[in-house]
Amino acid sequence: MALLQIAEPGLSPLPHQHRNAIGIDLGTTNSLVATVKSGSVSVLPDSTGHCLLPSVVRYLDSQGAVDVGHTAQYEQNSDPSNTIVSVKRMMGRGLGDIDAIGALPYRFVDAPGMAQLVTRAGTKSPVEISAEILRALKLRAEASLTGDIVGAVITVPAYFDDAQRQATKDAAQLAGLNVLRLLNEPTAAAIAYGLDNGSEGIYVVYDLGGGTFDVSVLKLSRGVFEVMATSGDSALGGDDFDHRIYCWALEQASLSGLNPSDSRRLLSCARNCKELLSEQLETRLTALLSDGQTVDLNLTQSDFRAISHTLVTKTLLPVKKALRDAGISVSEVKGVVMVGGATRMPQIQQVVAEYFGQAPLNNLDPDTVVAQGAAIQANMLAGNKQGDDWLLLDVIPLSLGLETMGGLTEKIIPRNSTIPVARAQEFTTFKDGQTAMTIHVLQGERELVSDCRSLARFVLRGIPPMVAGAARIRVTFQVDADGLLSVAAQEQTSGVTASIEVKPSYGLNDNDISRMLSDSLTHVRNDIDARKLREAEVGAISLMDTAQTAIARDGELLDPAEREQIELALANTRAAISSQNTRQINEAVSHLNHITEPFAERRMNKNIQRALRGQNIGEL
């Protein structure tokens, strides 16, 4: 209940003390970590000076030892089934959802909600594999920063659905990171770009990454970044262009049924060719296959344009949808910010320039801009005071709804609603004496349940038997600032409730997470108990400090009885700290939090009124 911060948003309890926070761009092809040091953003390099960490994880032995990054990448052709690339495409996805799965050199097993991979270290979920990448970046950050890292902002494609977001958050938790916020990649880029250039007006961010495509329309005005609409394709990216060259090569060289190692080798060559063709008009694709056969082909930029034409055009559809949802015409767009390594392809630059009738903005490094934006937000969320005050208002990318009779979807929260958002709707029973109701939560735009993504299913039980149509079941959807959904259902006449954080759809539940977490912590020989106690203690002390400051500032909002209760809770917390018992401290903190909630609310309301008054005066 850091009450102090109500009066001075963004001010940490000890203003002079810098709190380390990092921004991580967890990309399909490459990942990066950045931080704000003495007021400026820096992307942190590894010990050899590389900023980009290839998002490649290689399992080395049955104990689960791993190589991450360049070293893993070097071995991807020789050890393809244990070297996982582009794991992001599998996050929160079932086997059937992964495009071009046949071309991937892995052994998949289907698991509830999310496919898993068989490696020499056992079966690994995409969450665990992503956690290895995040852990490597965390170690890199720890090596270059003094003091603890208080938290991280992790970026996700704006078009990621709830399952993909939740999987990303779980991976970060597994890597031992405190997630301050999940931030949409194009929004991160807009923050870095907008703050850098002091931009005002309507901007489009065109973000073509390794495996995902996002487009966001933002209104930038007076330090507020308002996302008006977002659209995209979470299975379209630079990888697909590699795959087009790969298929072209198979056809040209009349090859079929390649083994995993050859398949991986040819894909790597294809990717090389793609990158070279951004700089030159033609290139050679040369690969030596394991049976001694040589593939040697000539690829020109115009051939590449021809074979990738449909992919390039495919990116314009989300662009049109986003503009339509934002109610904006092409002529109102002030600039188009290009993000993601794949926007270097000349055919992409050209199609964007033609569609918008203006040269796209390439003045920020498309590889690092997302990590930079994430670092800037992390710095703010960690409570470090910064020069400009700014605020981000983001949206949900896809509509959220429920299954109703006949396999139809009823939308509860429409796409592009500003978050946080909550919406409730009432439903009723369809049979006499019905005592339970299945709540099936869906995400997507289509009318049929089978065309939407199933996020969760839960059952509201204990409805008192009534005639059909008499029960009133109120279902409430709440989406938080990370874009994550929780759903609650309540039968209004009896008060029977059921709720769920939309989470276990893909088979990892809280117990799995904490088991993996403790496994990984034992792995680095961390003393969990001591750490938990220290965290509880630090949290309790900061909470007490801020409660006292809040009382000193706004004590008049409390009546004497309330004030006495808070004082009592404070004394209780103090006693708990001296007991050095983690559970006791946490209980005292939770009580203190609970009892000060109405106070916090009054203070926030007071601040809204103050802000509006200030604004009205400003207008006169």
Q: Which residues are catalytic?
A: 25, 88, 185, 207
Please name the amino acid found at residue 511.
N
User: Shortest approach of another protein to residue 227 CB, angstroms?
Assistant: 13
User: Shortest approach of another protein to residue 420 CB, angstroms?
Assistant: 5
Residue 392 or 463: the one with the smaller Cβ distance to another protein is 392
* Pick from 615, 601, 589, 560: nearest CA to 6: 601
What CA–CA distances, in Å, run from 213 to 148, 235, 312? 34, 7, 11
Residue 350 or 605: the one with the smaller Cβ distance to another protein is 605
What CA–CA distances, in Å, run from 218 to 191, 237, 361, 477? 10, 22, 15, 25
Task: Determine if 331 is a binding residue for another protein (CB under 8 A).
Answer: no
Task: Determine if 12 is a binding residue for another protein (CB under 8 A).
Answer: yes
- Interacting positions 439-478 with another protein (CB under 8 A): 478
Task: Determine if 408 is a binding residue for another protein (CB under 8 A).
Answer: no
Task: Determine if 613 is a binding residue for another protein (CB under 8 A).
Answer: yes
- The tally of CA atoms less than 13 A away on the side-chain side of residue 44 is 23
Residue 9 or 112: the one with the smaller Cβ distance to another protein is 9
Return the residue of 190, 419, 442, 456 that touches another protein, per CB under 8 A.
Answer: 419
Residue 285 or 419: the one with the smaller Cβ distance to another protein is 419
User: Shortest approach of another protein to residue 485 CB, angstroms?
Assistant: 13
Residue 268 or 542: the one with the smaller Cβ distance to another protein is 542
Question: Using omega within 30 degrees of 0 as the cis cutoff, is the peptide bond preceding 54 cis?
Answer: no
Q: Judged by CB under 8 A, which stretch of 7-15, 167-175, 199-207, 434-442 contacts another protein?
A: 7-15
- Interacting positions 209-238 with another protein (CB under 8 A): 222, 224, 226
Q: How many CB atoms lie within 10 A of CB 143?
A: 10
Cα-based angle 437, 442, 446 (whole degrees, multiple of 5) = 125
Q: Is residue 21 a contact partner of residue 152, using CB atoms and an 8 Å limit?
A: yes
Q: How far apart are CA 168 and CA 91, in angstroms?
A: 7
User: Shortest approach of another protein to residue 162 CB, angstroms?
Assistant: 17
Q: Is residue 90 a contact partner of residue 98, using CB atoms and an 8 Å limit?
A: yes
What CA–CA distances, in Å, run from 111 to 116, 117, 128, 177, 477? 6, 10, 14, 26, 27
Residue 165 or 344: the one with the smaller Cβ distance to another protein is 165
Q: How far apart are CA 125 and CA 170, in angstroms?
A: 11
Q: Judged by CB under 8 A, which stretch of 36-44, 161-169, 284-292, 612-620 contacts another protein?
A: 612-620
Q: Is residue 79 a contact partner of residue 100, using CB atoms and an 8 Å limit?
A: no
Q: Judged by CB under 8 A, which stretch of 299-307, 452-460, 513-521, 590-598 contacts another protein?
A: 590-598
- Contacts with another protein by CB under 8 A: the residue count is 62
User: Shortest approach of another protein to residue 607 CB, angstroms?
Assistant: 5
Q: Judged by CB under 8 A, which stretch of 247-255, 353-361, 415-423, 498-506 contacts another protein?
A: 415-423
Task: Determine if 180 is a binding residue for another protein (CB under 8 A).
Answer: yes
Q: How far apart are CA 451 and CA 443, in angstroms?
A: 9
Q: How far apart are CA 457 and CA 466, in angstroms?
A: 23
Residue in the block written with tokens 């495919």: 314
Residue 99 or 445: the one with the smaller Cβ distance to another protein is 445
What is the edge-to-edge ordering of all strands in the sheet holding 437-443?
408-413, 400-404, 437-443, 453-460
- Interacting positions 568-587 with another protein (CB under 8 A): none
- Interacting positions 285-324 with another protein (CB under 8 A): 317, 320-321, 324
Q: Is residue 340 a contact partner of residue 238, using CB atoms and an 8 Å limit?
A: yes
Return the residue of 408, 436, 481, 538 that touches another protein, per CB under 8 A.
Answer: 481
- Interacting positions 369-388 with another protein (CB under 8 A): 377, 380-383
Task: Determine if 608 is a binding residue for another protein (CB under 8 A).
Answer: yes
Task: Determine if 392 is a binding residue for another protein (CB under 8 A).
Answer: yes
* Pick from 414, 389, 377: nearest CA to 155: 377
User: Shortest approach of another protein to residue 125 CB, angstroms?
Assistant: 28
DSSP 125-150: -HHHHHHHHHHHHHHHHHHHSSS-EE
Three-state SS string across 63-121, please? CCCEEECHHHHHCCCCCHHHEEECHHHHCCCCHHHCCCHHHCCCEEECCCCCCEEEECC
Task: Determine if 141 is a binding residue for another protein (CB under 8 A).
Answer: no
User: Shortest approach of another protein to residue 357 CB, angstroms?
Assistant: 19
Q: Residues 523-562 vs another protein: string with x where CB under 8 A? A: ----------------x---x--x----------------
Q: Which long-range contacts (CB under 8 A, 24 or more apart) does 358-362 make?
A: 358/333, 360/206, 360/336, 361/193, 361/335, 361/336, 361/337, 362/338
Task: Determine if 244 is a binding residue for another protein (CB under 8 A).
Answer: no
Residue 297 or 393: the one with the smaller Cβ distance to another protein is 393
Would you tell me which residues interact with another protein (CB under 8 A)? 1-3, 5-6, 9-10, 12, 151, 180-181, 222, 224, 226, 317, 320-321, 324, 377, 380-383, 391-393, 417-423, 478, 480-481, 539, 543, 546, 589-590, 592-594, 596-598, 600-602, 604-605, 607-609, 611-616, 619
